[in-house]
Amino acid sequence: MVDQAVGNGKGSPDRGYGRRSVRRGDRILSALFAGGLQGFCYLFLAVVVGLALELLWGSRLSLRTFGLGFLWSTQWNPVTNQFGAAPFIYGTIVSSTIALVLAAGIGVMAGVFLAEFAPRRLGVALGMLIELLAAVPSIVYGLWGLFVLAPIVSGWIGPALQAAFGFLPFFQGTIYGVNMLTAALILTLMILPTITAITRDLIAAMPMRFREAALALGATPWEMASKVVLPSVRRGIFGACMLAYGRALGETIATTMVIGNRPVISASLFAPGYTVASVIANEFTEATTNLYLSALIELGLILLVVSLIVIGIGRLMLRLFLR
Amino acid sequence: MIALSIPARRQLNSMLWTGASAFCAIGVAVVLLLIMGYVVREGLSALSLSFLTQLPRPVGVPGGGVANGIVGTLIVVGIAALMAFPVGIFVGIYLAVYSHRRMAKCLSYLADVLAGVPSIAIGIFAYTLLVAPFRHFSALSASFAFAVLMVPLVIRTTEGAVALVPRELREAATALGAMEYRVTGKVLLVAARPGIVTGLLLALARVTGETAPLLFTAFGSQFWELDPSKPMAELSLQIFTYAISPYRDWHEQAWGGALILIIAVFVLSVLARLSFLWRGGTGISGGTD
């Protein structure tokens, strides 16, 4: 813009030979650049909108056939063309919620240590390590869960829990290796780095004077952390937990490998279950009828909507703190 | 002296809780390290030259490798990068330079939304768009799914890096008579390069181990397949298939594959960090000449 304004000045002494042709090339490139910028933006827009519309369009058959009943029907029978999502929704929510509770407790504590109490070097080293491990692909966690954690759950953790809390319905029945509990534990490990890292960043960003004031008033270090620091970032931590929860809900491969893949609703955490993402992963290529495929796509739509709401809440909470 | 005036019970309480938090942090790191150590130990015993250079063999035939999976992963991720990088970088620049426009706000929101979409849902999208109409699985559809996963990451990091370039630099270039595409290409992108490269590498690391969308896009293959319009083998997919199979030697191969995957992802993550730390060397001072 500025370029043209200067260059077009009539009778400007600056207009040397050959500059006109350069300017034409400039103009073409400018137009190309502006067009490219716009074009890529619209392309991106189209992809996101297309994603939502495709899932909606793909699940129309199932939406029309089952209506809202799809959400609470427990029948999942491809042979009789009966499809209901309840066992999968139950499995997804139970495994993710247990993971969230465990990971939130451990992760927030770990984040507090990294930001407040750890010697500087140790804090940086541990933090980098935990962040690096957040990049480990879920297939690796799934593999480890299947061959290492599952035997530990059925051999040690399960029997120990049954001995201590066997009177509760959650800890009764046969202990399988691949079950709801194993899936919840794997998810815990996978979302821990997220919660820990964000908690640490939130706390580290707090001004020093709050801590100084608390200590000057006679608070012990832990009282300072738990009564001054943590309450002032609690919305941010809630946001971090929601982000992690969203990830756990949508996690596919690791849960598929360790949850047992059986569409039943059982109170016992030692029984196999199934999640929304897992059933899509397992049965999508086997869907023989249009209604079957449509039901699976509707499951994808449900997953999409739920995780977007959860992650949206998380981002909203975090936006007040980060950036 | 002040410390003395705090009752011993509160001090003990504080020490206990501080200790508990230390236990949590160190415990998390140790458990995660143990997992990695286990993968390395199991993986190393499966790794060999033939594992890296041979095709999978049928069940019961000893030996065989995942060479086609490694090449397949490189192809699928490479094509995905070709699709995602231009879109991500351009949209990121747009968001940083025209952040006040309504379109930019809308796109920024959508980038957040897309970053939260589960990968399996993106797999369904790629399936209905690129697999169902052609009636066969293809590596290209997998690349598309990966590209959709990468784009929001690239957008965010590019936007952040470009927004950090001092406004004066941009104004100076414009004042010298440079047109917008030159300001962007020769000033903005050069100054923001370390941050952008970090984002690209992180995006690559993010999709390299991704498995879920591949189940119904790339689908996997037992053979050498270099044509992206056909079903193609993929390392993470092979690990999944081997792991859930009932055969012991396939399990060993799964560990070997997992080790390769972890090494690849770690190298990418570390490179991403280094390229960010080397900002001083490749940043504004070194690149604008």
Is the Cβ–Cβ distance between B192 and A260 less than 8 Å? no
Please report where in the chains the tokens 């006679």 appear, as a residue: A218
pLDDT range class, residue B185, cuts 50, 70, 90: confident
Q: Do A137 and B25 touch (CB under 8 A)?
A: no
Give the per-residue pLDDT at A231. 92
Give the per-residue pLDDT at B263. 93
**Separation CA B243–CA A253 (nearest Å):** 11
Greater confidence (A155 vs B277) lies with A155
Question: Measured at the alpha carbon of residue A140, what is the angle toward residues A139 and A142, in degrees to the nearest 5?
Answer: 65
Q: Phi, psi at residue B219, to the nearest 5°?
A: 70, -30
Q: What averages of pLDDT result for each successive group of 10 residues across chain A (323 residues)? A: 42 47 76 88 93 92 90 89 91 95 95 92 89 88 94 90 88 87 95 93 90 90 91 92 94 93 88 93 89 93 93 86 58
Contact partners, residue A209, CB within 8 Å, separation at least 6:
none
Exposed (0-12), middle (13-18) or buried (19+): which is A302, by Cβ within 10 Å?
Answer: buried
Q: What is the mean pLDDT of residues B111-131?
A: 92
Give the per-residue pLDDT at B279. 57
List, for residues B230-266, the tens digit of each pLDDT value. Answer: 889 899 999 999 999 888 888 989 999 999 999 999 9
Amino acid type, A167: F
Q: Do B128 and A50 touch (CB under 8 A)?
A: no
Q: Do B113 and A312 touch (CB under 8 A)?
A: yes
Question: Measured at the alpha carbon of residue A221, what is the angle toward residues A114 and A244, in degrees to the nearest 5?
Answer: 35
Cβ contacts of A113 on chain B, cutoff 8 Å: 18, 21-22, 24-25
Give the per-residue pLDDT at A184. 95
Three-class DSSP category at B219: strand
Q: Do A135 and B215 touch (CB under 8 A)?
A: no
Q: What is the mean pLDDT of residues B69-76?
A: 93
Cβ contacts of A308 on chain B, cutoff 8 Å: 113, 116-117
Give the per-residue pLDDT at A112. 94
User: For the CA atoms of A18, A23, A26, A27, what is the dihedral angle to 10 degrees?
Assistant: -150
pLDDT range class, residue B4, cuts 50, 70, 90: low
Give the per-residue pLDDT at A22. 58
Give the per-residue pLDDT at B287. 34
List, for residues B10-50, the tens digit of each pLDDT value. Answer: 889 999 999 999 999 999 999 989 999 999 999 999 888 88
Which H/E stretch holds residue B156?
Answer: helix B139-164
Q: Do B177 and A106 touch (CB under 8 A)?
A: no
pLDDT range class, residue B224, cuts 50, 70, 90: confident
Nearest to B181 among A29, A137, A312 (CB): A29
Nearest to B236 among A137, A246, A284 (CB): A137
Residue A136: closest CA among A198, A185, A191: A191
Q: Flag whether pLDDT at B289 surpasses 50.
A: no
Q: Do B39 and A249 touch (CB under 8 A)?
A: no
Is the Cβ–Cβ distance between A261 and A272 less than 8 Å? yes
Give the per-residue pLDDT at B197. 92
Chain A residue with minimum CA distance to B23: A110
Beta strand A82-83 with A76-77: parallel, antiparallel or unpaired?
antiparallel
Contact partners, residue B7, CB within 8 Å, separation at least 6:
none
**Separation CA A173–CA A271 (nearest Å):** 8
Most confident range (mean pLDDT) of A118-127, B72-81, B98-107 is B72-81
Q: Do B114 and A250 touch (CB under 8 A)?
A: no
Q: What is the mean pLDDT of residues B107-116?
A: 90
Contact partners, residue B170, CB within 8 Å, separation at least 6:
B183, B187, B188
Q: What is the mean pLDDT of residues B97-106?
A: 88
Calculate what percentage of chain B has a pLDDT beyond 90. 51
Residue B146: closest CA among B227, B210, B230, B233: B210
Q: Quickly count: other Cβ atoms within 10 Å of residue A305's Cβ.
A: 13
> What is the distance in angstroms between the Cα of A47 and the nearest Cα belonging to chain B?
8
